[in-house]
Structure 1
Amino acid sequence: MMSTRSLRLFLSVLLLAGTGLLITAWVRKPAPVAPPNVVLFFMDDLGYGDLSCTGALDYTTPNLDRMAAEGTRFTNFLAAQAVCSASRAALLTGCYPNRLGIYGALGPNSLIGLNPNEETLADLLKERGYATGMFGKWHLGDNKQFLPLQQGFDEYYGVPYSHDMWPLHPNQAAAHYPALRWIEGNEPKQEIRNLDDAGKITETITERAVSFIRNHKKKPFFLYVPHPLPHVPLAASPKFKGKSERGIFGDVLMELDWSVGQIMSELKQQGLDKNTLVIFISDNGPWLNYGDHAGSSGGFREGKGTSFEGGHRVPCLVRWPGVVPAGRVSNKLLTALDILPTVTKLCGARLPKQRIDGVDWIALLKGDNTVTPRDKFYYYYRKNSLEAVREGDWKLVFAHPGRTYEGFLPGQNGQPGPSTETHEFATALYDLRRDPGERYDVREQHPDVVAKLEKIAEEARADLGDDLQKRTGANVREPGRLTSGQ
């Protein structure tokens, strides 16, 4: 029989053991939060006014309107450059495209492309353990060494460049273009021969994106969906043809909205909705001389291919339930350059080793309106011409030759109207807070602002160069170049 002393000792040991277990349980760290999935939609030539939540008429975009209502709509969001390849290079690297030696819209069999030495958003998230998939338009070099699988993506299915770069281009001088083919991984697949085939583009990309979500639902993923439309030539599937009162352009927008809805629905069905960051933006403004086959700049001046706001200002919707405030509108200046540093930080990935130009806007994204992540932006175009600079609401446009759509009758039925690339724009200062249409030059009233913006322009020229002044920047890197035998 146990003595009283022994019993007391035994009970003390049990008490201490139990207390230790309780303390261990109390101090145990909570289970780590899974990194968010990321879905990035990137439209082609979608203008600021092309969603029903931003003023579109004669068709509706209910899925995108719902995304805006369930997330935040950023009204002062700029594409990095107002043209295809340059804009895409900037989005994936966080760099001004001219820093990378990328400009314009790269054609078939281009001798240059995005340098594989650059670290893309896909590279960085893949290193973090993400599955990475891209379905849509690439347009950063169509040679194998430049394609998405060499730029951080595990899976790719899409078109290598704009789908008007084909033998049916309305400009018959461009009929030398080779056949346009889908690419899967690194391999060319079936040809897109006509508008009926082109009408399958949106549906095909959507099916691939939905399948990617299903196949990778058990690990974090980055899904990049750069839709080739509503870039011309416009084409819709039979179930959307004739559905809008806006003609084929409205039909295309309704199908793109459907595509977004299908992907969002799949996230919910797989239980991924609440831990997925979804971003919807466009590569540049509308190609206005295509008239009834072009979108709307929402009242901003000019469109695609210009350094005015109609070329750069695009819709931006961001949704992440419980993290990004719902039903909110933010007017803070943001750009496509800022996607990479923001997403990598949210996902626990590192930044690229080489210099980038984007800024992190997580605090603003989460609802802190007291922060101003970005106050400056450089408007470069052509090969490397600094055409304007901005700080806050002030924008100084420099004298330059450029594209204008004004004064020209737009085209109809898929045929472009005339425009000019050699219009001489004069130096002008605009207050975008009062004059977002850039109509009133106020240089004489604000010489101090002009001096400040000219100083910012000098910083840009020293860093990135300026063809208008025949200056070379100190920090410009080389694009990828086609190696011999490729």
Structure 2
Amino acid sequence: MKVRTLYLFAVICLQSSLTNLALAQERPNVVLIFLDDSGWADFEPNNKSVHYTPNMGELAKEGGTYHNFYVPQAVCSASRAALLTGSYPGRTKIFGALKPKDKGLERTFATMGEIYRENGYRTALFGKWHLGDSDGTRPWDRGFDETAGILYSHDMWKHHPDDPETWGKYPLQFWENGKVIIEDMEEVDQQNLTNRFTEYALQFIEKNKNDPFLLYLPFNMPHVPLFIGKEFEGKSGVGKYGDVIMELDHSIGRINKALKGFGIDNNTIFIVTSDNGPWLSYGNHAGKTPFREGKTTSFDGGIKSSLIVKYPPLIQPDSFSNDTFFSIDLLPTLCELSGITLNDKDLDGKSMVNLLKGETDFKNPHEYYAISNLNNLEAIIDGDGRWKLHITHPYKSVLQQGNDGGSGKYKQQTLEMSLFDLQNDPFERHNVREMYPEITKKLWSYYKAHFEKYYAD
């Protein structure tokens, strides 16, 4: 009797183990690369004439390119909070760029790392966090099993080009799994960051190749000041910014190659995008966008980012889409693909799995998307992505670009309430508010509703 009981117990355990193994193999891995201040036109296939980026070109041929992908605010911390929580800045109250020692994202908002770890995934973050630098808000406290990198922007240090006295009060530390391993980084440390983050990522992939994992890789480049690994110095032929892009492209290629080498690329959702558009005031040290203005503005040059997604079971190779969606939609989309339910999570984003499938009758589930700058709600885009209403607001336009790492000059301007037809005027040049009063009225009603929900207090 005891032998039979032990036998049945062993069979049950074996069946359970096989079921768990099959489940683990079915659940896709996620590799999410989030660049910093990269321009929409920095990489192939959006632009082949400025930078040579064959690995991004290859990734695009193996997956899908999404031409109308946006972030809800064109500044570091606000954009990262939106990505990782699926919620607008108005909800999380993360606006602009956090400073060293800032409290950061409240624990009431679950991060992608926390959600995936709760559902059996191994999680890692290697790169720039920028969502809190105080106890309880750092990445190892917010759902990431393995971490390495910096906790805020790498220009917030003693060599800041405009204000070294202020930023020099804060050492730029390099952390690994909750411990400081470089107390105050020097230029030589920064030059190796892109390669270092890539090496961490490759080791994590190899170690977890047989289990489902989430790898979040927020590179700190190409944000100024620019730093390049010695292998890539002067190699692009188009200046320092081109060298940085070349090194990032190389890293992306290494990760794609590793996924293929371990035979897990068909079961991995591989995403490359950016936190916002280029910081145009830095001239030849800034990225390229064909759209109006850049980082820190609510124009498309600031909030529209390049996006490539590779996931062979779902996305047709060498495909592209002009449908609109926002970074707040990535979390619910990835969770649906990963079999993770979000019933108890109150998010602003919605799943875009049908868009990734390439359904010809895809209909965006949002009535509108909201755009903010710092804690000011400034614009509304309709769910279809055609109409964009700017509420009267000030903005900084680049008057004179800087050169070789120096910041240029801005001119403070004010935009009156303007309606732009993004389908026929993607560069936001012609205000058609008086021509389309009903559309203006509808978008204005969305603005008021969103304002009342998140900004009225």
What TM-score, normalized to structure 2? 0.92
Partner of 2:15: none
Q: What is the distance in 2 between the residues matched to 1:293 and 1:75?
A: 24
Q: How many pairs are equivalent?
A: 433
Q: Which amino acid in structure 2 is aligned with residue 427 of structure 1?
A: M
Partner of 1:246: 238
Aligned counterparts, 1:319-358, within 5 A: 319-351=310-342, 353-358=344-349
Aligned counterparts, 1:10-49, within 5 A: 34-49=26-41
Partner of 1:288: 280
Aligned counterparts, 1:194-343, within 5 A: 194-297=186-289, 299-343=290-334
Q: What is the distance in 2 between the residues matched to 1:356 and 1:270?
A: 34
Partner of 2:5: none
Per-residue CA deviation, residues 398-441 of structure 1 (Å, 9 max, x unaligned), is 11122222xx1200010100114x42221111000010100001
Shift of 1:353: 2.6
Partner of 2:145: 154
Q: What is the distance in 2 between the residues matched to 1:253 and 1:177?
A: 30
Q: What is the distance in 1 between the residues matched to 2:374 and 2:50?
A: 35
Per-residue CA deviation, residues 365-415 of structure 1 (Å, 9 max, x unaligned), is 1221311234521011112x111111130111111122222xx12000101
Q: What is the distance in 1 between the residues matched to 2:30 and 2:341?
A: 16
Pair 1:396-2:386 in alignment: no
Equivalent residue for 1:365, pick from 342, 356, 365: 356
**Conservation of the 8 A alpha-carbon contact between 1:59 and 1:245:** no
Per-residue CA deviation, residues 65-111 of structure 1 (Å, 9 max, x unaligned), is 1111111100000012100000000100000022011111001111x
**Conservation of the 8 A alpha-carbon contact between 2:159 and 2:168:** no
Q: What is the distance in 2 between the residues matched to 1:322 and 1:226?
A: 25
Shift of 1:36: 0.4
**Conservation of the 8 A alpha-carbon contact between 1:144 and 1:186:** no
Shift of 1:196: 2.6
Aligned counterparts, 1:181-200, within 5 A: 181-191=173-183, 193-200=185-192
Per-residue CA deviation, residues 342-381 of structure 1 (Å, 9 max, x unaligned), is 1111111121634211010111112213112345210111
Two-structure CA RMSD over aligned residues (Å)? 1.6
* CA pair 352-202 structure 1, distance change in 2 beyond 3 A: farther
Structure 1 unpaired stretches of 5+: 1-30, 466-470, 473-486
Structure 2 unpaired stretches of 5+: 1-21
Shift of 1:171: 0.6
Q: What is the distance in 2 between the residues matched to 1:450 and 1:135?
A: 43
Q: Which amino acid in structure 2 is aligned with residue 459 of structure 1?
A: A
Shift of 1:340: 0.5
SS across alignment from 2:335? helix
Q: What is the distance in 1 between the residues matched to 2:186 and 2:180?
A: 17
Q: Which amino acid in structure 2 is aligned with residue 404 of structure 1?
A: S
SS across alignment from 1:52? coil
SS across alignment from 2:204? helix
Percent of residue pairs identical: 41
Partner of 1:436: 426
Shift of 1:246: 1.7
Q: Which amino acid in structure 2 is aligned with residue 377 of structure 1?
A: Y
Q: Which amino acid in structure 1 is aligned with residue 413 of structure 2?
A: H
Q: Which amino acid in structure 2 is aligned with residue 429 of structure 1?
A: L
Pair 1:138-2:129 in alignment: yes
Structure index of larger Rg: 1
Pair 1:411-2:402 in alignment: yes
Partner of 1:460: 450
Q: What is the distance in 2 between the residues matched to 1:75 and 1:410?
A: 27
Aligned counterparts, 1:100-119, within 5 A: 100-110=92-102, 112-119=103-110
Q: Which amino acid in structure 1 is aligned with residue 166 of structure 2?
A: A
**Conservation of the 8 A alpha-carbon contact between 2:35 and 2:274:** yes
Q: What is the distance in 2 between the residues matched to 1:335 and 1:388?
A: 14
What TM-score, normalized to structure 1? 0.86
Per mean C-alpha deviation after superposition, the further-off stretch among 316-325 and 34-43 is 316-325
Shift of 1:191: 4.2
Aligned counterparts, 1:161-180, within 5 A: 161-172=152-163, 173-180=165-172
